[in-house]
């Protein structure tokens, strides 16, 4: 466990240095960007190691897998985020186990959450790259205004947005995808007169660009823990 903690701490420190450099380039404060440790397929010991190194936010892609690990971990200071595709049949467990639902991508999911009288923090997933394989609302500002308005009517706390950068090494495309979400967020705050502070953008390969374009939370898995392990 000690060697795992040391390795994770070294990787977190390195990632924080990159975040700091990217934030300074963009004229931002580095402390305005949080690291989420993405622990999909890694055992609960990896969550414990991340927490030991000062990480608070833990992301799990699969509701059932994450739920098992949350139960194993017991009481902790972790804030758990469901960051994978959320199906309607999973909403009941998701709102039981996770404090944040970061990838709400359909109106019916918003309505199912409200139907269960739950109020987890919510991010709406937006497909800013336009790639057909990805889930998420289209980057249509009028549509998103309606979705947020509906969620607020249902008294659900919408905190912002999530996007996944394009499956491309083209930094121009990556930057454009992140900048688009920031622009949408800024416009909707003005239109609706609400605060949408969170922009979950950037993963292990593109998080520095995401920080330059306004990300408030980067989702790091391989960057912190190495390649994914088998399913737990």
pLDDT tens for each residue of 66-88: 999 999 998 888 999 999 999 99
pLDDT tens string 177-196 = 999 999 999 999 999 999 99
pLDDT value of residue 169: 87
CA distance 195 to 140: 19
Low-confidence ranges of the chain (pLDDT < 50): 231-232
- Can you give the residue ranges of every domain in the chain? 2-225
User: What percentage of the chain exceeds 90 in pLDDT?
Assistant: 92
- What is this structure's pTM? 0.94
Environment class of 188 (CB within 10 Å of its CB; exposed 0-12, middle 13-18, buried 19+): buried
Predicted pLDDT of residue 232: 41
Q: Measured on CA atoms in the order 79, 23, 158, 107, is the torsion positive or negative? A: negative
CB atoms within 10 A of CB 101: 27
pLDDT tens for 2-23 read 799 999 999 999 999 999 999 9
CB 217 within 8 A of CB 197: no
How far is Cα 223 from Cα 64, in angstroms, rounded to an integer? Answer: 24
CATH topology of domain 2-225: TIM Barrel (3.20.20)
What does the DSSP assignment read for 8-39?
HHHHHHHHHHHHHHHHHHTT--GGG-EEEEE-
Residue 100's Cβ-side half-sphere holds a number of Cα atoms within 13 Å equal to: 26
């Amino acid at each position: 466990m000690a060697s795992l903690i040391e390795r994770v701490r070294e990787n977190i420190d390195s990632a924080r240095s990159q975040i700091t450099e990217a934030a300074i380039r963009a004229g931002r404060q580095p402390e305005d960007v949080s690291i989420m440790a993405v622990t999909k397929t890694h055992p609960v010991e990896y969550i414990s190691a991340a927490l030991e190194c000062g990480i608070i936010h833990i992301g799990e892609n699969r509701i059932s897998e994450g739920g098992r690990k949350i139960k194993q971990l017991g009481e902790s200071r972790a804030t758990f985020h469901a960051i994978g595709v959320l199906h309607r049949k999973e909403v009941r467990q998701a709102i039981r186990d996770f404090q944040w639902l970061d990838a709400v991508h359909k109106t019916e999911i918003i309505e199912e959450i409200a139907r269960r009288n739950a109020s987890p923090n919510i991010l709406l997933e937006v497909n800013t790259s336009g790639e057909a394989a990805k889930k998420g609302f289209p980057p249509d500002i009028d549509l998103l205004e309606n979705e947020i308005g509906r969620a607020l009517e249902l008294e659900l706390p919408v905190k912002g947005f999530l996007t996944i950068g394009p499956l491309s090494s083209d930094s121009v495309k990556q930057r454009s995808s992140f900048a688009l979400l920031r622009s949408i967020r800024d416009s909707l705050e003005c239109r609706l007169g609400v605060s949408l502070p969170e922009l979950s953008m950037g993963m292990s390969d593109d998080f520095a660009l995401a920080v330059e374009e306004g990300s408030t939370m980067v989702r790091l898995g391989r960057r912190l823990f190495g390649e994914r392990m088998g399913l737990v």
